[in-house]
Amino acid sequence: MPTQRSYLIPIVATAVFVAVCARLGVWQLDRLQQRRAFNARLEARLAAAPVSVAALPADTAVGHYHRVTARGVFEYEREAVLATRSQMGSPGVHLLTPLRLADSTLVIVNRGWVYAPDAMTIDAPAWREHEGDTVTVSGYAETWPDRASIPAPERPTVVRALDSAAVAKVAGEPVRAYYVAQTSDSARAPNRPVRLGEPELAEGSHKSYAVQWFSFALIALIGGTLLVREEVVRRRASA
């Protein structure tokens, strides 16, 4: 029995390790397929003709990332500053500015990034574009992740996360389920924040992780087989 157990333990341990590694490899391949499917949907939505932000469906899963336009007047006195946003390693903020549409409703526009040494404080009036003018904003529809924003009582217009409730509090009225990530302008302004880039169409590291897990499984299988074989040879030689 002790002899059988001495064979059984490494065989079972190797089998379990190989199975776990193989399962993790398959899981990474599943994640890769999900990411590719997401990228295909994202690419199709970004390639479609833009629609008015008011025409977006109520289901945010359907409208997310669609190209949109919004026409109205910016209300800068209701603007929220999204703190701690970096750009190429530099600290800064994003400007979340309400746009008053023709139907009198508000849509929040992320106008882009502005440098701030402390990633929070800016001269907000210096970044007001076409103040009082009717503008057409182009971009894509983003949804609120609604990460809780820790309030800063001394800075009532600053939010630390994309929290729709916190932004609505600064704006003074409810906000839509979508906001507009602005990527272009109807008219260029000298005091223009750095616009947001397009959503990233990346596959991530799922393929390399899958190869890694399958490699671990293969190494364990070969190593376990060699160890058992060596033990068999040793016992036969000593018999």
How far apart (Å, rounded) are the C-alpha atoms in residues 54 and 71? 10
For 128-138, write each residue's pLDDT tens digit. Answer: 988 888 999 99
pTM of the model as a whole: 0.75
pLDDT band at 201 (very low <50, low <70, confident <90, very high): confident
**Which tokens belong to 192?**
């223009």
Question: With 80 as the cut, is the pLDDT of residue 152 above it?
Answer: no
Q: Which of 39-53, 85-99, 143-157 has the lowest mean pLDDT?
A: 143-157
Question: With 90 as the cut, is the pLDDT of residue 147 above it?
Answer: no
pLDDT of residue 43: 83
* Residue 46 three-state SS: helix
Where on the phi/psi map is residue 89: left (φ > 0), alpha (ψ -120 to 50), or beta?
Answer: left
pLDDT of residue 219: 92
How far apart (Å, rounded) are the C-alpha atoms in residues 239 and 233? 10
pLDDT of residue 1: 45
Q: Which of 4-18, 72-86, 100-114, 202-216 has the lowest mean pLDDT?
A: 4-18
